[in-house]
Amino acid sequence: MTKTERATYVQQRLGELYPNTPIPLDHKDPYTLLIAVLLSAQCTDVRVNQITPLLFARADTPEAMIKLSVEEIQDIIRPCGLSPMKSKGIFGLSRILLDQHGGKVPVDMKALEALPAVGHKTASVVMSQAFGVAAFPVDTHIHRLAQRWGLTSGKNVVQTERDLKRLFPESSWNALHLQIIFYGREHCSARGCDGTVCEICRALYPDRKRPKVTKKS
């Protein structure tokens, strides 16, 4: 298969497997999604969904969040890991949203990336899942699968995002981002598949005998 043929197969098969793509992080609006995505860094969605109800019961708006201290936020979110950095980020971005954006999450990539503790991937998730703006957030899991499927040279997540955006139509980006994540968790995990085990890996590379060594982002 050519790279384009592989991309076409991946899009078609994932569409069959996951016709619906619910957002795995529980939230009620762009602000609570932003906080949940920030908390998900190096943490599972399951754990985040256990912690956010506790946090949002105390503060689910920027106004309420800055009434808490950084230490109070940190105590609540500690099970998510990286709590010192994340708590400062949550407090800081809440203050900036109030001071510079009228208390609203901006529908603007650069403005999101300028917020404390919000990187390109987090901003991309918010743009795509909160506002429906076409984006292709790439985390380490998508980076790994894109390499296994021969869709990218795999140098880093920046290159992977660029390659995937070239291969797939813009209208499919938001759904594909989630579909790849779902598939990776269920069928092509870091330990559960080495590029030779799961359905899509075998379909794309039926003659692959050795494990696909992926480059870390």
Sequence-distant (≥ 6) Cβ neighbours of residue 101 within 8 angstroms: 111
| Dihedrals phi, psi of 152, to nearest 5 degrees | -155, 160
Which amino acid is located at 78 in the chain? R
- Of 26, 121, 155, 216, the catalytic one is 121
Q: Whats the size of the chain, residue-wise?
A: 217
Helix intervals (H) in the chain: 3-17, 30-39, 45-58, 62-65, 70-77, 83-100, 109-113, 120-131, 140-148, 157-167, 173-186, 199-204
**Which class for 111: exposed (0-12), middle (13-18), buried (19 or more C-beta within 10 A)?**
middle
- In the structure encoding, which two tokens stand for residue 106, read together? 């901006």
Residue 121 appears among annotated catalytic residues: yes
Residue 139 appears among annotated catalytic residues: yes
- Of 99, 139, 165, 207, the catalytic one is 139
So which residues are the catalytic ones? 121, 139
